[in-house]
C-alpha cells in the first residue's frame, strides 16, 4: 500500500508519464509512433545482454544495454526503408519481431542460468513499477526530467521540422541533427520506462496520451500539456492499482488507464470529439433544411 | 548585381536525369516566371537552387554569393501540398515560422517578431484568420498564409513553387499584386508557373525550361512561339491556345 517507497514510485511514474506524453506527441505528429514500438521491443535483448555481460541488475547498466539495441533497431528500420523496396510497415514489423524474439531467447537463457532466477528480468517484459528500488527511481526521474527539458527547449524547432522540413532546412535549421535528437530522445524515453512499464507496452505511453490529447485542441502547445497530463495520470493510476496486488504488472494497467482517457477524449472532447462533431453536423443539416424551407415559401 | 547565377547545374533522381547543364544569369529586381511542361524539372530547379537535393552538380550564386541560410536573403514558398495541413497550429503560428531564421535556435519569438508576422498576415488579407487552425482554411487561404510566411522572412530573393495552383480568383489577384509590389521594392521573385495564358501578363522575365534551358530573358524576347514550341515539344494543344489568345488581344 502507500508506503514511503510507493510515494517515490509515484513521483517517478508521474515524471515518466509527462516525459512520454511530451516526447510521444512529437513522435505521433511525425508519424513515427510505430518506430517507437519497435524500439521498445528491441530494448529486451539489450537488457538481457547487459545482464549476461555484467552479471548484475544495476538499472543504469541495463538501460545502457537497452539503449544500444533500441537505437540499433531504429537505425535498421531506417536503413531497410532507405536501401530496399520494403516500406516502413514491413521494416518495422520485421525489426520488432526479430529483436523481440532474440530478447525472449536471451531472457530464457538468463533465467536458466544459476543466478538468473532471482534476476527479476521478467519484470522488464510487462513492467513492475512498485518494486523499483529508490536508486533506480533516481535514475528514472533524472532521465525523465532531461527529456522534459529537451522537449521544452526544442519545441519551436521540432514543430517546424515536423510541419515543413523543407522550409526548416531553407532557413538554416539543422534538420537532420534535430531529427536524430528527437529519435535519440524517444529511445531514451523508452529506456527510462522499461522497468516501470515493460518493453511490450512502453510504446503505449508514447502513443495513447498523444493520440487522446489530439482530440482536445488544434494548438500544439495545448496538445503537449494535455498529453503530458494524460501520461502523468495513466502513470500514477497504473502504478497505484498495480501495487494493490502482488503479481499484477504495471504496464497493462497503465495501458488500460490511458485507453480510458483516450475513449473519454474520443467521445467527449469539444470541437474534435465524436459527439461534438456529430452535433455540429446535425445542426448544420437542420439549418440547411430550414433555409431550404424558407426559400420555398 | 545578379539576383541569381547558375552554372552547369545538373540533377539526377536515381538514374534519371531531371536537369541537364542549366546556366542562368538573372539581374535583381525582376519578377521571373519559370515555365515549362509537366516533368520539365521546374520544381527541381528551385529545390536545387535552394540546396535541398543531394544529387546535384554545378554552382549556384544568389546575390553573387553562395547560398547561406544564415544570410536570410532567400524566402521560399513550397507547393501547398508539401505539408500536412492537419498539423495542429494556426495561421499566425505558421507565419511566425518565417521569423525562426532571424530568431535563432531555442530562443522564443519576440513581440516584434509577432508584430511582423501579424503585419504580413494583414498584407495578404488574412488578419481576421490569425487564430484559425490551418486545417480549417480553404486552399486559397492556405496559400496566402504560405505567402505571408515568406514575406515574414524579409528576404531579398523569393522562390515560389506553383503558388497559383488550386486557388480562387481573388487569391490569385492578391498574390500577383503582392509579387508586383515586391518587385517594385527592388526584390527579385522567381515563380514556378504552368499557365501560359497568364504568364506574359504576370512576369517581366522568363525562364523556359524543359530539362535544360530553352530560353531565359525579358518576357518580350523569350515568350515567343519558337521558344515555346521548343520547350513544349510536340504539345501543340497548348500552343494553339496561346496563339488564339494572342490574336484576341
Give strand pairing partners of B159.
Answer: B76, B190
Same domain, yes or no: B66 and B101:
no
Residues in chain A: 297
Can you give the pLDDT at residue B202? 95
Q: pLDDT digits over A163-174, tens only?
A: 999 999 999 999
Domain edge (last residue) among B129, B154, B179:
B154
Can you give the pLDDT at residue A134? 87
Same domain, yes or no: B115 and B236:
no
Judge: A157–B106 Cβ closer than 8 Å, yes or no.
yes
Residue among A52, A70, A14, A201 at smallest CA distance from A126 = A201
A195 pLDDT exceeds 60? yes
Q: What CATH code is carried by the domain that includes residue B215?
A: 3.40.50.300
Judge: A163–B84 Cβ closer than 8 Å, yes or no.
yes
- pLDDT band for A115, please (50, 70, 90 cuts): low
- pLDDT band for A117, please (50, 70, 90 cuts): low
Q: Give the pTM.
A: 0.90
Same domain, yes or no: B229 and B147:
no
- What is the rounded average pLDDT of the residues A91-109? 95
Interface test with B, best of A25, A173, A214, A218 (most B CBs within 10 A): A218
Judge: A163–B50 Cβ closer than 8 Å, yes or no.
no
Same domain, yes or no: B6 and B26:
yes
Size of interface A-B (CB pairs under 8 A): 74
Q: What percent of chain A has pLDDT over 70?
A: 95
Same domain, yes or no: B144 and B178:
no
Same domain, yes or no: B150 and B197:
no
Judge: B69–A171 Cβ closer than 8 Å, yes or no.
yes
- Quote the minimal CA–CA distance from A237 to chain B in Å: 28
Q: Is residue B163 part of a domain?
A: yes
Domain edge (last residue) among B154, B177, B204:
B154
Can you give the pLDDT at residue A3? 64
Domain edge (last residue) among B154, B178, B193:
B154
Ranges of residues in chain B with a pLDDT under 70 are 234-249
Can you give the pLDDT at residue B24? 95
* Contact residues for B216 (Cβ-Cβ < 8 A; gap 6+): B24, B25, B26, B205, B206, B207, B208, B222
CA A65, distance to chain mean position in Å, is: 19
- pLDDT band for A296, please (50, 70, 90 cuts): low
B76: closest chain A residue by CA = A167
Give strand pairing partners of B6.
Answer: B24, B60
> B90 CB near a chain A CB, below 8 Å?
yes
Same domain, yes or no: B178 and B240:
yes
Judge: B76–A170 Cβ closer than 8 Å, yes or no.
yes
Residue among B39, B53, B47, B48 at smallest CA distance from B8 = B48
Contact yes or no for B2/B26 (Cβ under 8 A)? yes
Contact yes or no for B85/B109 (Cβ under 8 A)? no
Q: Taking CB atoms and an 8 Å cutoff, what residues of chain B touch A219?
A: 88-90, 133
Q: Is residue B30 part of a domain?
A: yes
Residue among A9, A294, A288, A30 at smallest CA distance from A157 = A30
Same domain, yes or no: B175 and B100:
no
Q: Is residue B175 part of a domain?
A: yes
- pLDDT band for A5, please (50, 70, 90 cuts): confident
Q: Taking CB atoms and an 8 Å cutoff, what residues of chain B touch A153?
A: 106
Can you give the pLDDT at residue A118? 63
Residue-averaged pLDDT of chain B: 90
Q: Which chain A residues have any C-beta within 8 angstroms of a chain B C-beta?
A: 29, 153-154, 156-157, 159-160, 162-164, 166-173, 214, 217-220, 223
Total tally of structural domains belonging to chain B: 2
Q: Does 2.60.40.290 match the CATH number of domain A4-296?
A: no
Interface test with B, best of A82, A160, A171 (most B CBs within 10 A): A171
Domain that holds residue B104: 83-154
* Contact residues for B29 (Cβ-Cβ < 8 A; gap 6+): B3, B183, B186, B187, B188
Contact yes or no for B50/B224 (Cβ under 8 A)? no
Q: pLDDT digits over B10-32, tens only?
A: 998 877 889 999 999 999 999 99
Judge: A170–B69 Cβ closer than 8 Å, yes or no.
yes
The sign of the torsion formed by the CA atoms of A210, A212, A216, A218 equals: positive
Q: How far apart are CA B143 and CA A12, in angstroms?
A: 46
* Alpha-carbon distances of B179 from A282, B36, B186, B216, rounded to whole Å: 43, 20, 11, 20
Nearest to B133 among A29, A163, A218 (CB): A218
Same domain, yes or no: B216 and B228:
yes
Can you give the pLDDT at residue B249? 36
Q: pLDDT digits over A53-71, tens only?
A: 998 888 899 999 999 999 9
Q: Is residue B180 part of a domain?
A: yes
A157 pLDDT exceeds 50? yes
Q: Is residue B78 part of a domain?
A: no
Contact yes or no for B60/B9 (Cβ under 8 A)? yes
Q: How far apart are CA B34 and CA B40, in angstroms?
A: 10
User: What does the DSSP 8-state code read for residue A129?
Assistant: S
| Domain ranges (residues) in chain A | 4-296
Neighbouring C-beta atoms of residue A91, cutoff 10 Å:
21
Q: Is residue B148 part of a domain?
A: yes
Interface test with A, best of B100, B145, B147, B154 (most A CBs within 10 A): B100
Q: pLDDT digits over B40-79, tens only?
A: 999 999 999 999 988 889 999 999 999 998 889 999 999 9
User: Where are the extended beta strands (E) located within A129-281?
Assistant: none
A89 pLDDT exceeds 70? yes
Same domain, yes or no: B94 and B209:
no
Can you give the pLDDT at residue A259? 96
Q: Is residue B199 part of a domain?
A: yes
- What is the rounded average pLDDT of the residues A27-32? 94
Judge: B106–A153 Cβ closer than 8 Å, yes or no.
yes
Can you give the pLDDT at residue B247? 40
- C-alpha grid cell for residue B72? 536570410
- Quote the minimal CA–CA distance from B84 to chain A in Å: 7
Same domain, yes or no: B146 and B244:
no
- What is the rounded average pLDDT of the residues A226-230? 98
Can you give the pLDDT at residue A286? 81
Same domain, yes or no: B62 and B121:
no
Can you give the pLDDT at residue A278? 86
Amino acid at each position: 500500500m502507500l508506503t514511503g517507497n510507493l510515494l517515490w514510485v509515484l513521483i517517478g511514474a508521474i515524471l515518466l508519464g509527462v516525459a512520454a506524453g511530451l516526447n510521444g506527441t512529437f513522435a505521433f505528429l511525425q508519424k513515427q509512433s510505430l518506430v517507437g514500438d519497435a524500439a521498445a521491443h528491441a530494448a529486451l535483448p539489450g537488457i538481457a545482454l547487459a545482464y549476461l555481460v555484467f552479471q548484475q541488475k544495476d538499472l543504469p547498466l541495463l538501460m545502457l544495454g537497452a539503449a544500444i539495441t533500441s537505437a540499433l533497431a531504429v537505425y535498421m528500420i531506417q536503413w531497410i526503408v532507405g536501401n530496399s523496396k520494403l516500406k516502413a510497415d514491413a521494416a518495422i514489423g520485421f525489426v520488432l519481431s526479430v529483436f523481440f524474439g532474440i530478447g525472449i531467447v536471451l531472457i530464457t537463457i538468463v533465467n536458466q542460468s544459476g543466478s538468473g532466477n532471482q534476476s527479476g528480468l521478467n519484470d522488464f517484459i510487462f513492467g513492475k513499477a512498485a518494486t523499483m528500488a529508490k536508486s533506480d527511481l533516481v535514475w528514472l526521474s533524472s532521465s525523465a526530467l532531461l527529456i522534459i527539458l529537451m522537449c521544452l527547449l526544442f519545441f519551436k524547432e521540432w514543430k517546424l521540422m515536423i510541419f515543413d522540413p523543407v522550409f526548416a532546412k531553407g532557413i538554416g535549421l539543422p534538420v537532420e541533427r534535430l531529427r536524430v535528437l528527437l529519435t535519440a530522445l524517444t529511445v531514451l524515453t523508452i529506456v527510462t520506462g522499461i522497468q516501470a512499464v515493460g518493453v511490450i507496452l512502453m510504446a503505449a505511453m508514447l502513443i495513447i496520451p498523444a493520440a487522446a490529447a489530439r482530440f482536445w485542441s488544434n494548438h500544439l502547445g495545448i496538445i503537449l500539456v494535455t498529453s503530458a497530463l494524460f501520461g502523468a495520470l495513466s502513470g500514477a493510476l497504473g502504478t497505484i492499482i498495480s501495487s494493490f496486488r502482488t503479481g499484477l504488472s504495471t504496464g497493462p494497467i497503465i495501458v488500460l488507464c490511458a485507453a480510458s482517457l483516450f475513449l473519454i477524449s474520443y467521445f467527449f472532447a469539444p470541437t474534435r470529439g465524436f459527439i461534438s462533431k456529430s452535433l455540429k453536423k446535425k445542426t448544420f443539416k437542420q439549418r440547411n433544411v430550414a433555409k431550404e424551407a424558407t426559400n420555398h415559401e | 548585381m545578379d539576383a541569381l547565377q547558375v552554372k552547369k547545374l545538373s540533377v539526377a533522381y536515381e538514374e534519371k536525369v531531371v536537369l541537364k547543364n542549366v546556366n542562368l544569369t538573372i539581374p535583381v529586381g525582376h519578377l521571373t516566371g519559370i515555365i515549362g511542361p509537366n516533368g520539365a524539372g521546374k520544381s527541381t530547379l528551385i529545390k536545387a537552387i535552394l540546396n535541398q537535393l543531394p544529387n546535384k552538380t554545378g554552382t549556384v550564386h544568389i546575390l553573387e554569393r553562395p547560398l547561406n541560410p544564415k544570410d536570410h536573403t532567400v524566402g521560399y514558398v513550397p507547393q501547398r501540398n508539401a505539408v500536412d495541413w492537419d498539423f495542429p497550429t494556426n495561421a499566425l503560428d505558421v507565419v511566425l515560422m518565417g521569423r525562426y531564421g532571424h530568431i535563432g535556435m531555442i530562443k522564443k519569438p519576440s513581440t516584434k517578431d509577432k508584430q511582423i508576422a501579424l503585419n504580413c498576415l494583414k498584407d495578404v488579407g488574412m488578419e481576421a484568420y490569425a487564430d484559425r487552425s490551418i486545417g480549417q482554411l480553404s486552399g486559397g487561404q492556405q496559400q496566402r498564409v504560405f505567402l505571408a510566411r515568406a514575406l515574414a522572412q524579409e528576404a531579398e530573393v523569393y522562390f515560389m513553387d506553383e503558388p497559383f495552383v488550386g486557388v480562387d480568383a481573388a487569391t490569385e489577384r492578391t498574390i500577383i499584386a503582392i509579387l508586383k509590389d515586391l518587385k517594385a521594392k527592388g526584390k527579385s521573385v522567381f515563380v514556378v508557373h504552368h499557365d501560359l495564358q497568364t504568364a506574359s501578363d504576370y512576369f517581366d522575365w522568363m525562364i523556359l525550361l524543359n530539362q535544360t534551358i530553352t530560353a531565359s530573358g525579358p518576357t518580350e524576347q523569350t515568350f515567343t512561339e519558337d521558344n515555346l514550341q521548343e520547350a513544349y515539344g510536340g504539345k501543340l494543344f497548348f500552343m494553339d491556345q496561346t496563339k488564339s489568345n494572342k490574336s484576341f488581344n
